[in-house]
Amino acid sequence: MSVGTRRERERAKIRDSLVQVALTVLEHEGTAAVTVRRVAGEVEYTAPVVYQHFANKEALLLALVEVGYARLHARMAAAAENAVAADGRILDTGRAYVEFAAAHPHLYQLMNSADVDAHGRFRAATPVVRLVEDLMTNWAGAHGIVLADPTETCEVAWATLYGIAGLGKLDTVGYARAAHLADRALRALLLSWRTHPDGDYP
């Protein structure tokens, strides 16, 4: 192994450790607690060491957002893979989305927060967006329909899950009921898209 390769691996290892520490702080205490100084202290580094890997706090938060979307994608993809029918894949991935929000409330909030640049968040979310688009395209094909605007259809499904997941953090609703509501909402959307794929509602 060359000296350069060893240094790159060591650098990557340090970066990963900083991300994991920041993620632990986030999950237990929320976004406000994640600071460069706090993360540096947790791993017994000085702040300048952290700045060698992250230009500022926003860059550190973006790294957490990237972890969040990677984990969300893995959870939704696994749910889709285990489902046995086209409708089931949509419903199960929707449930996985809400369950992720329930299991990681602070991380989920950061993933949808203005604390991180919108373009950076969109890039991090791209694999999940593509997964939803593929699921909807395959669902439409399984039912022999052509959606008038597949992109809009995906945005409606995403917005529905986002809104319902947000209700889950309310004590009066809770995530268990939010998962139930997500299932009901997606079933209603699938029915409407099957009966009016052109979007021309009476």
Q: Which helix (H) or strand (E) holds 94?
A: helix 86-103
92-148: per-residue pLDDT in tens? 999 999 999 999 999 999 999 998 999 999 999 999 999 999 999 999 999 999 988
Separation of alpha carbons 167 and 179, rounded Å: 10
Class of domain 1-54: mainly alpha
CB atoms within 10 A of CB 108: 22
Q: Which two tokens stand for residue 21?
A: 């520490």
CATH architecture of the domain 57-195 equals Orthogonal Bundle (1.10)
What is the location of CATH 1.10.357.10 in the chain? 57-195
pLDDT along the chain (202 residues), means of 10: 73 91 96 93 87 93 98 97 94 97 97 93 96 94 91 93 94 95 97 85 62
Residue 106 near residue 31, CB atoms below 8 Å: yes
What is the location of CATH 1.10.10.60 in the chain? 1-54
Q: Which two tokens stand for residue 173?
A: 């609703």
CA atoms lying within 13 Å on the CB side of residue 86: 15
Separation of alpha carbons 180 and 173, rounded Å: 11
Q: What is the pTM of this model?
A: 0.91
Residue 57 near residue 49, CB atoms below 8 Å: no
